[in-house]
Amino acid sequence: MHYDVIIVGAGSMGMAAGYFLSRSGKKTLLLDSFNPPHHKGSHHGDTRIIRHAYGEGEEYVPLALKAQELWYDLEEKSGKQLFLKTGVLNVGNETSEFIQNIISSSKTYSLPLEVLDSTEVNKRWPGIDLSNEYIGCFEPTSGVLKCEECIEAYRELAEQHGATILPNSKVKELSVHGKRVTIKFEEQTFTSDSLVVSAGAWSGSLLSMLDLHLPLNPVRKTFAWFEANEQLYNHKDFPAFSFETPNGLYYGFPSIEGAGLKVGRHDGGETINPEEEMLGFGELKKDKADLSQFLSQFMPSADQLKYGKTCMYTLTPDEDFIIDVHPAYPNVAIASGFSGHGFKFSSAIGQILSELIISGRSEQNITPFSINRFKEKV
Ligand SMILES: Cc1cc2nc3c(=O)[nH]c(=O)nc-3n(C[C@H](O)[C@H](O)[C@H](O)COP(=O)(O)OP(=O)(O)OC[C@H]3O[C@@H](n4cnc5c(N)ncnc54)[C@H](O)[C@@H]3O)c2cc1C
Protein backbone atom coordinates (compact mmCIF):
# COMPACT_ATOMS: atom_id res chain seq x y z
CA MET A 1 0.00 0.00 0.00
CA HIS A 2 1.37 3.46 -0.90
CA TYR A 3 0.93 6.61 1.21
CA ASP A 4 1.98 10.24 0.89
CA VAL A 5 3.59 10.02 4.31
CA ILE A 6 4.29 7.38 6.94
CA ILE A 7 4.81 8.33 10.58
CA VAL A 8 6.81 5.87 12.68
CA GLY A 9 5.91 6.49 16.33
CA ALA A 10 2.40 7.83 17.02
CA GLY A 11 3.06 9.20 20.52
CA SER A 12 3.19 12.82 21.62
CA MET A 13 4.85 14.26 18.51
CA GLY A 14 3.81 11.67 15.94
CA MET A 15 0.09 11.75 16.70
CA ALA A 16 0.02 15.55 16.48
CA ALA A 17 1.91 15.37 13.15
CA GLY A 18 -0.64 12.79 11.97
CA TYR A 19 -3.44 15.24 12.66
CA PHE A 20 -1.82 18.17 10.84
CA LEU A 21 -0.77 16.07 7.85
CA SER A 22 -4.12 14.34 7.41
CA ARG A 23 -5.93 17.66 7.86
CA SER A 24 -3.91 19.10 5.00
CA GLY A 25 -5.07 16.29 2.75
CA LYS A 26 -2.03 14.01 2.90
CA LYS A 27 -2.71 10.29 2.78
CA THR A 28 -1.14 9.42 6.11
CA LEU A 29 -0.23 6.15 7.83
CA LEU A 30 0.80 6.08 11.49
CA LEU A 31 2.55 3.00 12.88
CA ASP A 32 3.14 2.45 16.58
CA SER A 33 4.57 -0.45 18.59
CA PHE A 34 1.72 -0.07 21.11
CA ASN A 35 -1.77 1.47 21.16
CA PRO A 36 -1.30 5.20 21.86
CA PRO A 37 -1.77 6.73 24.33
CA HIS A 38 -0.02 3.97 26.30
CA HIS A 39 2.19 3.40 29.34
CA LYS A 40 5.39 2.19 27.67
CA GLY A 41 6.98 5.40 26.36
CA SER A 42 7.31 9.00 27.52
CA HIS A 43 3.73 10.30 27.53
CA HIS A 44 1.81 8.66 30.40
CA GLY A 45 1.04 9.74 33.96
CA ASP A 46 -2.06 11.94 33.43
CA THR A 47 -0.43 15.37 33.40
CA ARG A 48 2.33 17.53 31.88
CA ILE A 49 3.29 21.11 32.77
CA ILE A 50 3.15 23.84 30.17
CA ARG A 51 5.20 26.97 30.96
CA HIS A 52 5.66 29.96 28.64
CA ALA A 53 8.38 32.10 30.32
CA TYR A 54 11.03 29.46 29.79
CA GLY A 55 13.85 28.63 32.20
CA GLU A 56 15.66 26.52 29.61
CA GLY A 57 16.10 29.55 27.32
CA GLU A 58 14.22 32.38 25.62
CA GLU A 59 14.43 30.66 22.21
CA TYR A 60 11.66 28.32 23.41
CA VAL A 61 9.12 31.06 24.15
CA PRO A 62 7.62 31.54 20.64
CA LEU A 63 7.26 27.75 20.39
CA ALA A 64 5.54 27.58 23.80
CA LEU A 65 3.12 30.35 22.85
CA LYS A 66 2.34 28.71 19.51
CA ALA A 67 1.81 25.40 21.30
CA GLN A 68 -0.56 27.00 23.81
CA GLU A 69 -2.62 28.51 20.97
CA LEU A 70 -2.81 25.08 19.32
CA TRP A 71 -3.85 23.39 22.61
CA TYR A 72 -6.77 25.85 22.85
CA ASP A 73 -7.58 25.05 19.24
CA LEU A 74 -7.50 21.31 19.98
CA GLU A 75 -9.86 21.84 22.93
CA GLU A 76 -12.27 23.64 20.65
CA LYS A 77 -12.10 21.08 17.84
CA SER A 78 -12.36 18.05 20.15
CA GLY A 79 -14.86 19.56 22.61
CA LYS A 80 -12.68 18.33 25.51
CA GLN A 81 -11.02 20.18 28.35
CA LEU A 82 -7.32 19.37 27.92
CA PHE A 83 -5.69 22.32 29.68
CA LEU A 84 -6.11 23.47 33.30
CA LYS A 85 -5.00 27.05 33.90
CA THR A 86 -3.53 26.35 37.34
CA GLY A 87 -0.59 28.70 36.83
CA VAL A 88 2.99 27.49 37.36
CA LEU A 89 5.22 28.47 40.27
CA ASN A 90 8.95 28.27 39.51
CA VAL A 91 11.11 28.33 42.64
CA GLY A 92 14.87 28.79 42.85
CA ASN A 93 17.69 30.99 43.92
CA GLU A 94 17.34 34.52 42.51
CA THR A 95 20.74 34.30 40.78
CA SER A 96 20.15 30.92 39.11
CA GLU A 97 20.24 30.82 35.30
CA PHE A 98 16.86 29.05 35.22
CA ILE A 99 15.15 31.78 37.27
CA GLN A 100 16.93 34.57 35.39
CA ASN A 101 15.83 33.08 32.05
CA ILE A 102 12.22 33.01 33.26
CA ILE A 103 12.35 36.64 34.34
CA SER A 104 14.08 37.82 31.16
CA SER A 105 11.79 35.86 28.83
CA SER A 106 8.73 37.29 30.58
CA LYS A 107 10.12 40.79 29.94
CA THR A 108 11.12 40.16 26.32
CA TYR A 109 7.74 38.66 25.44
CA SER A 110 5.56 40.72 27.85
CA LEU A 111 4.34 37.61 29.65
CA PRO A 112 2.53 38.00 32.97
CA LEU A 113 4.87 36.95 35.79
CA GLU A 114 4.74 37.64 39.53
CA VAL A 115 8.11 37.56 41.26
CA LEU A 116 7.54 36.74 44.95
CA ASP A 117 9.84 36.44 47.96
CA SER A 118 9.62 33.39 50.23
CA THR A 119 7.27 35.09 52.73
CA GLU A 120 4.83 35.97 49.95
CA VAL A 121 4.99 32.42 48.54
CA ASN A 122 4.33 30.83 51.96
CA LYS A 123 1.44 33.19 52.64
CA ARG A 124 -0.22 32.67 49.25
CA TRP A 125 0.16 28.87 49.25
CA PRO A 126 0.18 27.60 52.86
CA GLY A 127 1.02 24.11 51.56
CA ILE A 128 4.55 25.39 50.75
CA ASP A 129 7.33 25.95 53.27
CA LEU A 130 10.01 28.05 51.56
CA SER A 131 13.12 29.38 53.29
CA ASN A 132 14.33 32.87 52.48
CA GLU A 133 17.17 31.98 50.09
CA TYR A 134 14.50 31.14 47.49
CA ILE A 135 12.18 33.25 45.36
CA GLY A 136 9.10 32.19 43.39
CA CYS A 137 8.17 33.23 39.84
CA PHE A 138 4.46 32.65 39.35
CA GLU A 139 3.12 32.52 35.81
CA PRO A 140 -0.69 32.69 36.05
CA THR A 141 -1.50 31.96 32.39
CA SER A 142 0.27 28.61 32.17
CA GLY A 143 -0.72 25.29 33.76
CA VAL A 144 -1.35 21.62 33.18
CA LEU A 145 -2.11 19.52 30.10
CA LYS A 146 -3.96 16.20 30.39
CA CYS A 147 -1.36 14.38 28.32
CA GLU A 148 -3.03 11.10 27.38
CA GLU A 149 -6.27 12.94 26.60
CA CYS A 150 -4.38 15.31 24.29
CA ILE A 151 -3.00 12.34 22.32
CA GLU A 152 -6.43 10.72 22.23
CA ALA A 153 -7.95 13.95 20.89
CA TYR A 154 -5.36 14.22 18.11
CA ARG A 155 -5.89 10.54 17.30
CA GLU A 156 -9.64 10.95 16.93
CA LEU A 157 -9.30 14.04 14.75
CA ALA A 158 -6.56 12.47 12.60
CA GLU A 159 -8.82 9.47 11.96
CA GLN A 160 -11.70 11.80 11.10
CA HIS A 161 -9.41 13.40 8.50
CA GLY A 162 -8.71 9.99 6.98
CA ALA A 163 -5.42 8.99 8.63
CA THR A 164 -4.81 5.26 9.07
CA ILE A 165 -3.44 4.28 12.47
CA LEU A 166 -1.95 0.82 12.91
CA PRO A 167 -1.36 0.12 16.62
CA ASN A 168 0.78 -2.78 17.90
CA SER A 169 2.91 -2.47 14.76
CA LYS A 170 6.57 -2.19 15.65
CA VAL A 171 8.71 -1.14 12.70
CA LYS A 172 11.87 -3.22 12.41
CA GLU A 173 12.87 -2.61 8.81
CA LEU A 174 13.06 0.81 7.27
CA SER A 175 14.78 2.09 4.13
CA VAL A 176 14.81 5.20 1.94
CA HIS A 177 15.91 5.19 -1.68
CA GLY A 178 15.63 8.63 -3.20
CA LYS A 179 12.00 9.65 -2.96
CA ARG A 180 10.74 6.23 -1.94
CA VAL A 181 10.34 5.12 1.67
CA THR A 182 9.84 1.40 2.29
CA ILE A 183 8.73 -0.18 5.54
CA LYS A 184 8.36 -3.89 5.97
CA PHE A 185 6.10 -4.99 8.75
CA GLU A 186 5.42 -8.70 9.23
CA GLU A 187 4.03 -9.90 5.89
CA GLN A 188 3.18 -6.40 4.66
CA THR A 189 5.18 -3.75 2.81
CA PHE A 190 4.20 -0.08 3.02
CA THR A 191 5.71 2.59 0.78
CA SER A 192 5.47 6.37 0.86
CA ASP A 193 6.94 9.57 -0.57
CA SER A 194 7.88 10.93 2.86
CA LEU A 195 8.61 9.76 6.37
CA VAL A 196 8.39 11.16 9.89
CA VAL A 197 10.48 9.45 12.57
CA SER A 198 9.06 10.36 15.98
CA ALA A 199 9.79 7.22 17.96
CA GLY A 200 10.76 8.75 21.32
CA ALA A 201 13.26 6.64 23.26
CA TRP A 202 13.52 4.19 20.33
CA SER A 203 14.45 6.82 17.73
CA GLY A 204 18.19 6.09 17.92
CA SER A 205 17.95 2.50 16.64
CA LEU A 206 15.44 3.43 13.90
CA LEU A 207 17.54 6.32 12.63
CA SER A 208 20.66 4.18 12.56
CA MET A 209 18.84 2.12 9.89
CA LEU A 210 19.01 5.36 7.86
CA ASP A 211 22.73 5.84 8.63
CA LEU A 212 22.09 8.61 11.11
CA HIS A 213 23.69 8.16 14.52
CA LEU A 214 22.41 10.76 16.96
CA PRO A 215 23.64 11.19 20.54
CA LEU A 216 20.38 10.08 22.22
CA ASN A 217 20.38 8.72 25.76
CA PRO A 218 17.18 7.02 27.05
CA VAL A 219 16.86 7.41 30.82
CA ARG A 220 14.57 5.86 33.44
CA LYS A 221 12.53 8.42 35.40
CA THR A 222 10.21 8.05 38.39
CA PHE A 223 7.26 10.05 39.64
CA ALA A 224 4.61 9.48 42.28
CA TRP A 225 1.35 10.65 43.80
CA PHE A 226 1.15 11.52 47.50
CA GLU A 227 -1.89 11.87 49.78
CA ALA A 228 -2.75 15.56 49.87
CA ASN A 229 -4.82 17.80 52.09
CA GLU A 230 -7.31 18.90 49.44
CA GLN A 231 -7.83 22.27 51.11
CA LEU A 232 -4.17 23.10 50.53
CA TYR A 233 -3.31 21.28 47.31
CA ASN A 234 -6.42 21.13 45.11
CA HIS A 235 -5.87 22.43 41.57
CA LYS A 236 -8.17 25.41 41.95
CA ASP A 237 -5.96 26.84 44.72
CA PHE A 238 -2.53 25.29 44.17
CA PRO A 239 -0.33 25.66 41.08
CA ALA A 240 1.88 23.26 39.14
CA PHE A 241 5.48 23.86 40.18
CA SER A 242 9.19 23.45 39.50
CA PHE A 243 11.82 23.76 42.24
CA GLU A 244 15.53 24.16 41.58
CA THR A 245 17.23 23.05 44.80
CA PRO A 246 20.81 22.07 45.72
CA ASN A 247 19.56 18.45 45.96
CA GLY A 248 17.98 18.37 42.50
CA LEU A 249 15.38 19.78 40.13
CA TYR A 250 11.87 18.77 41.16
CA TYR A 251 8.50 19.44 39.55
CA GLY A 252 4.94 18.62 40.40
CA PHE A 253 1.21 19.05 40.04
CA PRO A 254 -1.66 20.01 42.32
CA SER A 255 -4.20 17.38 43.25
CA ILE A 256 -6.62 17.11 40.33
CA GLU A 257 -10.00 15.58 41.17
CA GLY A 258 -8.59 14.10 44.37
CA ALA A 259 -5.70 12.26 42.64
CA GLY A 260 -3.13 13.52 45.15
CA LEU A 261 -0.07 15.72 44.83
CA LYS A 262 2.14 14.40 41.99
CA VAL A 263 5.91 14.92 42.22
CA GLY A 264 8.89 13.94 40.06
CA ARG A 265 12.55 14.72 39.76
CA HIS A 266 13.83 16.18 36.49
CA ASP A 267 17.59 15.69 36.81
CA GLY A 268 19.31 12.32 37.24
CA GLY A 269 17.95 8.87 36.32
CA GLU A 270 19.49 5.67 34.99
CA THR A 271 20.50 5.10 31.36
CA ILE A 272 18.44 2.21 29.98
CA ASN A 273 17.91 0.13 26.86
CA PRO A 274 14.28 0.80 25.79
CA GLU A 275 14.11 -2.72 24.31
CA GLU A 276 14.39 -4.19 27.81
CA GLU A 277 11.80 -4.20 30.60
CA MET A 278 12.39 -1.21 32.88
CA LEU A 279 12.53 -1.52 36.69
CA GLY A 280 9.21 -0.42 38.17
CA PHE A 281 8.72 2.35 40.74
CA GLY A 282 10.14 1.33 44.12
CA GLU A 283 12.45 -1.36 42.71
CA LEU A 284 15.32 1.02 43.42
CA LYS A 285 15.48 2.05 47.05
CA LYS A 286 16.05 5.71 46.23
CA ASP A 287 12.82 6.02 44.17
CA LYS A 288 10.60 6.97 47.08
CA ALA A 289 13.32 8.41 49.33
CA ASP A 290 14.30 10.96 46.72
CA LEU A 291 10.78 12.39 46.34
CA SER A 292 10.03 12.18 50.06
CA GLN A 293 13.07 14.23 51.00
CA PHE A 294 11.87 17.00 48.65
CA LEU A 295 8.37 16.95 50.10
CA SER A 296 9.56 16.85 53.71
CA GLN A 297 11.50 20.05 53.10
CA PHE A 298 9.09 22.04 50.93
CA MET A 299 5.60 20.52 51.32
CA PRO A 300 5.82 18.71 54.65
CA SER A 301 2.09 18.07 55.04
CA ALA A 302 2.06 15.80 51.93
CA ASP A 303 4.18 12.82 52.91
CA GLN A 304 2.07 9.67 52.44
CA LEU A 305 2.93 7.83 49.20
CA LYS A 306 -0.09 6.61 47.22
CA TYR A 307 1.70 5.02 44.23
CA GLY A 308 4.45 5.73 41.74
CA LYS A 309 5.31 4.99 38.12
CA THR A 310 8.29 4.96 35.78
CA CYS A 311 8.65 6.69 32.42
CA MET A 312 11.46 7.52 29.95
CA TYR A 313 13.30 10.68 28.98
CA THR A 314 15.36 10.75 25.77
CA LEU A 315 18.26 13.08 26.52
CA THR A 316 20.48 14.94 24.07
CA PRO A 317 23.88 16.17 25.32
CA ASP A 318 22.65 19.79 25.57
CA GLU A 319 19.07 18.80 26.52
CA ASP A 320 17.72 20.77 23.56
CA PHE A 321 15.44 19.05 21.06
CA ILE A 322 16.18 17.57 17.65
CA ILE A 323 13.67 18.77 15.03
CA ASP A 324 15.07 18.65 11.52
CA VAL A 325 15.13 16.85 8.20
CA HIS A 326 17.54 13.98 7.63
CA PRO A 327 20.85 15.37 6.27
CA ALA A 328 20.79 12.91 3.33
CA TYR A 329 17.02 12.62 2.76
CA PRO A 330 14.98 15.85 2.52
CA ASN A 331 11.77 13.77 2.55
CA VAL A 332 12.48 12.45 6.08
CA ALA A 333 11.55 14.66 9.07
CA ILE A 334 12.86 13.81 12.52
CA ALA A 335 11.61 14.79 15.98
CA SER A 336 13.44 13.36 18.95
CA GLY A 337 15.59 14.01 22.01
CA PHE A 338 12.91 15.88 23.93
CA SER A 339 14.98 15.60 27.10
CA GLY A 340 12.07 15.53 29.52
CA HIS A 341 10.48 18.83 28.51
CA GLY A 342 8.87 18.20 25.13
CA PHE A 343 5.22 17.41 25.76
CA LYS A 344 4.01 21.00 26.15
CA PHE A 345 5.33 21.73 22.64
CA SER A 346 3.94 18.64 20.92
CA SER A 347 1.01 20.48 19.32
CA ALA A 348 3.40 22.99 17.71
CA ILE A 349 5.94 20.30 16.84
CA GLY A 350 3.23 18.27 15.09
CA GLN A 351 2.51 21.32 12.96
CA ILE A 352 6.23 21.89 12.28
CA LEU A 353 6.69 18.26 11.18
CA SER A 354 3.79 18.60 8.79
CA GLU A 355 5.30 21.83 7.36
CA LEU A 356 8.68 20.10 6.92
CA ILE A 357 7.02 17.26 5.00
CA ILE A 358 4.85 19.53 2.87
CA SER A 359 7.28 22.35 2.03
CA GLY A 360 10.65 21.37 3.50
CA ARG A 361 10.62 24.37 5.83
CA SER A 362 8.78 25.62 8.90
CA GLU A 363 7.37 29.00 9.89
CA GLN A 364 8.85 28.47 13.35
CA ASN A 365 12.56 29.01 13.98
CA ILE A 366 13.90 25.49 14.42
CA THR A 367 17.58 26.36 13.94
CA PRO A 368 18.36 25.74 17.66
CA PHE A 369 17.13 22.16 17.18
CA SER A 370 19.18 21.26 14.11
CA ILE A 371 21.09 18.02 13.70
CA ASN A 372 24.27 19.71 12.53
CA ARG A 373 25.03 20.99 16.05
CA PHE A 374 26.22 17.41 16.70
CA LYS A 375 28.16 17.34 13.41
CA GLU A 376 31.30 15.67 14.65
CA LYS A 377 29.21 13.02 16.46
CA VAL A 378 26.69 12.20 13.69
C1 LIG B 1 7.90 11.46 34.01
C2 LIG B 1 7.88 12.47 32.91
C3 LIG B 1 7.44 13.76 33.16
C4 LIG B 1 7.45 14.71 32.16
N5 LIG B 1 6.96 15.97 32.42
C6 LIG B 1 6.87 16.86 31.41
C7 LIG B 1 6.22 18.11 31.64
O8 LIG B 1 5.74 18.39 32.75
N9 LIG B 1 6.14 18.97 30.59
C10 LIG B 1 6.63 18.68 29.36
O11 LIG B 1 6.54 19.52 28.47
N12 LIG B 1 7.23 17.49 29.11
C13 LIG B 1 7.35 16.58 30.10
N14 LIG B 1 7.91 15.36 29.87
C15 LIG B 1 8.50 15.08 28.56
C16 LIG B 1 7.51 14.67 27.50
O17 LIG B 1 6.51 13.84 28.02
C18 LIG B 1 8.28 14.01 26.37
O19 LIG B 1 9.29 14.92 25.92
C20 LIG B 1 7.39 13.65 25.20
O21 LIG B 1 6.32 12.84 25.62
C22 LIG B 1 8.21 12.91 24.14
O23 LIG B 1 7.37 12.63 23.05
P24 LIG B 1 7.80 11.61 21.91
O25 LIG B 1 6.76 11.69 20.86
O26 LIG B 1 9.23 11.85 21.56
O27 LIG B 1 7.77 10.18 22.63
P28 LIG B 1 6.50 9.23 22.92
O29 LIG B 1 5.33 10.01 23.32
O30 LIG B 1 6.99 8.16 23.84
O31 LIG B 1 6.18 8.60 21.49
C32 LIG B 1 7.07 7.74 20.82
C33 LIG B 1 6.22 6.66 20.19
O34 LIG B 1 7.01 5.92 19.27
C35 LIG B 1 6.57 4.57 19.32
N36 LIG B 1 7.62 3.73 18.72
C37 LIG B 1 8.89 3.58 19.17
N38 LIG B 1 9.57 2.73 18.37
C39 LIG B 1 8.73 2.33 17.40
C40 LIG B 1 8.86 1.46 16.30
N41 LIG B 1 10.00 0.81 16.04
N42 LIG B 1 7.78 1.25 15.50
C43 LIG B 1 6.62 1.89 15.76
N44 LIG B 1 6.45 2.75 16.81
C45 LIG B 1 7.48 2.97 17.62
C46 LIG B 1 6.33 4.33 20.79
O47 LIG B 1 5.51 3.22 21.03
C48 LIG B 1 5.70 5.65 21.21
O49 LIG B 1 4.29 5.60 21.16
C50 LIG B 1 7.92 14.36 30.86
C51 LIG B 1 8.35 13.06 30.61
C52 LIG B 1 8.33 12.12 31.61
C53 LIG B 1 8.81 10.73 31.31
Nearest to 321 by CA among 370, 278, 259: 370
- Return left, alpha or beta for 253; rule: phi > 0 is left, psi -120 to 50 is alpha, else beta: beta
Query: Do 292 and 341 fall into the same domain?
Result: no
Domain match, 293 and 327 both? no
| 295/238 same-domain check | yes
Q: How far apart are CA 223 and CA 49, in angstroms?
A: 14
Residue ranges making up the domain that contains 347: 2-43+148-213+318-374
Residue 83 maps to a domain: no
Residues 232 and 133 in one domain: yes
CA 42–ligand 1 middle distance (angstroms): 3
Is there a single domain that holds both residue 238 and residue 249? yes
Amino acid 243 reads F
Are 231 and 127 within one domain? Answer: yes
Please state the domain count of the chain.
Answer: 2
Around ligand 1, the residues with Cβ closer than 6 Å are: 8-14, 31-34, 36, 40-43, 45, 48-49, 170-171, 198-200, 202, 206, 221, 223, 264, 311-313, 336, 338, 340-344
Asked, for residue 325, whether it belongs to a domain, the answer is: yes
CATH value at residue 115: 3.30.9.10
Q: What is the pLDDT of residue 186?
A: 83
Are 125 and 180 part of one and the same domain?
no
pLDDT of residue 377: 53
Confidence (pLDDT) at 303: 83
Look at the pTM and tell me if it is higher than 0.95. yes
Q: Is the peptide bond before 37 cis (omega within 30 degrees of 0)?
A: yes
Ligand 1 midpoint to CA 14 (Å): 10
323 and 292 housed in the same domain:
no
Below-70 pLDDT ranges, the chain: 376-378
Q: Respond yes or no: is residue 266 known to be catalytic.
A: yes
Residue 171 sits in the same domain as residue 230: no
Catalytic pick among 26, 51, 220, 262: 262
pLDDT given for residue 187 in this prediction: 85
Q: How far is the CA of 10 from the centre of ligand 1 (A)?
A: 10
Q: Are residue 231 and residue 357 in the same domain, yes or no? A: no
